[in-house]
Amino acid sequence: MSYVDQDMTGNRIVSAVVTAIVMVALGWGLIIALNRDFVREVLEDTELIEIVEDEPEPEPEPDEPPPEPEKQAEPPPIVAPPPPIQFNTPPPPVRTQVEEPKNPVRTVTAAPVEDPGTAPEPPPPPPPPPPQRANPEPRGNPGRWANSNDYPSRALREEREGTTRFRVVVNTKGRVDSCTVVSSSGHNDLDEATCKNIQRRARFRPALDSNGNPMQGTWSNAVRWQIPR
């Protein structure tokens, strides 16, 4: 081993010793700081505090009600004294006598006198007699109840003509109840067309009785079937 190595080894030993001394000094100072007396004083100063719940305060006793005042006796009601009793004797009756007059006055009632200058009012005129109508009357023009447009097509092609006489029964409303052919045209289709159109289109004013009430009646006429030229 060389000299340099020996010298370095010595220095390390010295450093280690110094370090150990310093550590011992620090530990000793710490022990002194933590002396038992100091710890004891700290524990004595620190006392345990015990928490005790407060006991509920006793409820106050209810106050005694004040004594009721003594009721005073009500005074007796005031009663009016009864009226004094009077004993009055009724007076004697007085008799009165009415004397009739010597010349009594008589009242005369005058009867009403008619004025000859005023003539009595004439009686009202009698009401007019109710309207009377022995037979129904047509409304409008009867010539329009059947026209050339109503000509049966077959009779028109065959150029058949004729006159149909008929009679209708009119009810109280002015409508045709029935139609009867009283004189034929000689062709059934022309007769049937006559009653068909009259029943459908004819309107009347109904017949009236003696009291003016509507009644049933009859009406007669004829339709001439002629091909227009």
Helix (H, G, I), strand (E, B) or coil at 25: helix
pLDDT for 93 beyond 70? no
pLDDT for 143 beyond 80? yes
Supply the pLDDT for residue 79.
57
Question: Residues 57-68: what's their mean pLDDT?
Answer: 60
Question: 133-168 b/e with 16+ CB inside 10 Å = b?
Answer: beebeeeeebeebbeeebbbeebeeeebbbebbbeb
Q: Name the least confident of 50-54, 66-70, 112-116, 127-131.
A: 50-54
Question: Residues 86-108: what's their mean pLDDT?
Answer: 55
Where is pLDDT greater, at 154 or 46? 154
Burial (CB count <10 Å: 0-12, 13-18, 19+), residue 41: exposed
Q: Name the least confident of 59-63, 162-166, 180-184, 196-200.
A: 59-63
The tokens describing 145, both together, are 């109840």
pLDDT for 112 beyond 60? no
Where is pLDDT greater, at 133 or 11? 133
Question: Residues 129-148: what's their mean pLDDT?
Answer: 88
Q: What are the pLDDT digits (tens) for 168-222?
A: 999 999 999 999 999 999 999 999 999 999 999 999 999 999 888 999 999 999 9
Which pairing describes strands 176-183 and 162-170: parallel, antiparallel, or unpaired? antiparallel
pTM value surpassing 0.75 = no
Supply the pLDDT for residue 1.
45
Average pLDDT, the chain: 75
Residues in Cβ contact with 120 at an 8 Å cutoff, skipping those fewer than 6 apart: none
Rounded to whole angstroms, how far apart are CA atoms 162 and 152? 12
Distance of CA 152 to the CA centre of its chain: 64
Of the pLDDT bands very low, low, confident and very high (cuts 50, 70, 90), residue 82 is low
pLDDT exceeding 90 applies to what percent of the chain?
37
Of the pLDDT bands very low, low, confident and very high (cuts 50, 70, 90), residue 51 is very low
Supply the pLDDT for residue 87.
41
CA angle centred on 118, ends 117 and 123, rounded to 5°: 145
